[in-house]
Amino acid sequence: MQTHADIVKNAGTADEVARARNVSIHTVRSWIQRDSIPAEHWAGFALDGKATLQELALAAASKISPTKPASAAAA
């Protein structure tokens, strides 16, 4: 499974991705560093054929850790 950082890196150079997404190169580098592409940019990556929406969602979901149930926290 690709991570968001992998998807950005495979989409081209940071400069190319920045131009394609109409954001700064610093923004693209922060996506790689945080391993997180904001959801409002997912459609652009999908339309450009860089990743499917499912791949983007799976990569985002894999970073979410379940929280402890309230009853476990009170114990």
Q: How far apart are the C-alpha atoms of 63 and 24, rounded to whole Å?
A: 25
CB-based contacts of 1, cutoff 8 Å, min separation 6: 55, 58, 59, 62
Q: How far apart are the C-alpha atoms of 7 and 56, rounded to whole Å?
A: 8
Q: How far apart are the C-alpha atoms of 46 and 59, rounded to whole Å?
A: 14
| pLDDT beneath 50: ranges in the chain | 75
Report residue 71 CA to chain centroid gap.
Answer: 32
pLDDT at residue number 67: 61
Domain range annotation of the chain: 4-64
